[in-house]
Amino acid sequence: MVVLVTGGNGQLGQALQYVAPDFPDVTFHFAASSEADITDTGSLSSAFAQIKPDICVNAAAYTAVDKAESEPEKATLINVVGARNLAETCLRYDVTLIHISTDFVFDGQKSTPYKESDTTNPTGVYGQTKRDGEQAIAQVGGKYFIIRTSWLYSQFGANFMKTMLRLAGERDIISVVNDQIGTPTHAIDLARAIATIIRSGKAAYGIYHYSNEGVASWYDFARKIFEVNDIRVNVKPIPTAEFPTPAKRPAYSVLDKSKIKETFQIEVPDWETSLKQTV
């Protein structure tokens, strides 16, 4: 089984590199944008012709949520045009696509976990481009999995956990919103879930949700980060209204994982348990 990973140097790409030795029956090729640029069909065709993958994991994305509000064209190029290019290339080469999406495709108005069948209604440019990217893949067709995840963090790349640890060394008081509810997801756990889907060989194509188990606010997440790292800092809970951002975030974006657990027999760890493993 040969797997091409686009965005190989990003957070999820590095997480997949970390777990790859645990899946010796799968040959992973990790490609940076210079090797497989999803916005360039010629670059993709060259990479596919050379590597001859059976599966392509698209870990390349524009993920700067607030910056997307002032860079909609760039976000669209990567998250929509890039997704379509990759889907078309996969179709042409008869390759299965595993595309990573986000909880930001929802508006956060529910109070129970979002299922794959729930109506999408993004509230910002980032969420809109990710939703449009999903739709572009569906329109192209072929063999594809779309995996929506949430609040991704790890020892790799830039993420909330690493930001909190940095701020703890700079400030005595850190204010964090406590009225946005979701689930922190360890990128290593997501990477293992993706590898498990690959190894399964199942053709159960479609949309799936994956995050860790449990529910938290960003404030809860921050407090637990400092607790497990034995860092003493004053964390102040504040409402979203006191921390305005260019992009509006969903107030509630907990994902229902029933489908992915039942289809692929994936055991999903609790977010607090996984966070302790990053210390």
Active site residues: 126
DSSP assigned state of 124: S
d(CA 99, CA 96): 10
d(CA 38, CA 218): 32
DSSP assigned state of 122: -
d(CA 175, CA 235): 6
Tokens of 174: 């850190």
Listed in sequence order, the residues at least 6 apart from 256 whose beta carbon sits closer than 8 Å to its beta carbon are 113, 114, 115, 116, 209
Angle among Cα 145, 151, 153 to the nearest 5 degrees reads 100
User: What is the rounded radius of gyration, in angstroms, for the C-alpha atoms of the chain?
Assistant: 18
Largest CA distance in the chain: 55
Helices (H), the chain: 11-19, 41-51, 72-76, 82-93, 125-140, 160-168, 187-200, 218-228, 258-264, 271-276
